[in-house]
Amino acid sequence: MGKKLYVGNLSFDTNEEGLRDYFSQAGSVESAVIITDRMTGRSKGFGFVEYATDEEAQKAIEMFDGQDLDGRNLKVNEARPKEDRPPRY
């Protein structure tokens, strides 16, 4: 099973292909997703990158946390499970 990483402080100009290419320097990227606003389709400034192995994920954290991508210093760490939230009305 792979390890998913949270990538925060993304530039609004960064796209999923660019994110995948950048993070592939650390290993084999299984998926790269940028979270977007449902109404506008605009990036929310964060995303997730998934690696095949824990070792590749740890290498990516060490390589990219605090590094510049498209003019922004990235925040990279292990993703936490999504918390249940009450429904919004």
Bridge-based pairing state of the strands 72-73 and 68-69: antiparallel
Would you say residue 8 has pLDDT above 70? yes
- Other CB atoms within a 10 A radius of the CB of residue 83 amount to 5
Q: What is the mean pLDDT of residues 73-82?
A: 94
Tell whether the model's pLDDT for residue 79 goes beyond 80. yes
Contact, 79 vs 4, CB < 8 A? Answer: yes
pLDDT(65) > 80? yes
The CATH superfamily assigned to 3-76 is RRM (RNA recognition motif) domain (3.30.70.330)
The answer to whether residue 1 scores a pLDDT higher than 70 is: no
